[in-house]
Amino acid sequence: MSDYGFSREARTGSSEGYVIEVEGEAMGRVDLHFLASSAVAGTLCVPTAFDDADIEDLIAEIDERLVLSHDADRADFVVTVWRGAVVGVYSEADEEE
């Protein structure tokens, strides 16, 4: 098992969003959408330092720990991966202050 932690930030009836942590520090994000077809669509954001092997290992971990625990009979897991850097978090609540 890797050292990844997953902190859920959002949940709806058909989706979940997680911050991915290593040693308590945020390093990425994954959003999962559970589709009516029993497939799961994911968007994964990872740091620029991640290579293809790192990405594949993380996807396997997400599948095992988050996707299969939600729906063990899923038909497919399709992941779109973005590699880059966090710019910030923007909110209308911040503009009102």
Residue 30 burial by Cβ neighbours in a 10 Å radius (0-12, 13-18, 19+): buried
In a domain, 91, yes or no: no
CA gap 88, 20 in Å, rounded: 16
Which residues lie below 8 Å from residue 62, measured CB to CB, with a gap of 6+?
A: 6, 30, 32, 42, 44, 79
Q: What is the pLDDT of residue 72?
A: 74
Q: What is the pLDDT of residue 1?
A: 46
In a domain, 68, yes or no: yes
In a domain, 96, yes or no: no
Residue 36 has φ and ψ, to the nearest 5°, of: -60, -25
Q: Which two tokens stand for residue 63?
A: 């599948």
User: Domain of 19?
Assistant: 4-86
Mean predicted confidence (pLDDT) in 63-92:
90
In a domain, 95, yes or no: no
Query: Domain count of the chain?
Result: 1
Q: 95: pLDDT confidence band, cut at 50, 70 and 90?
A: low
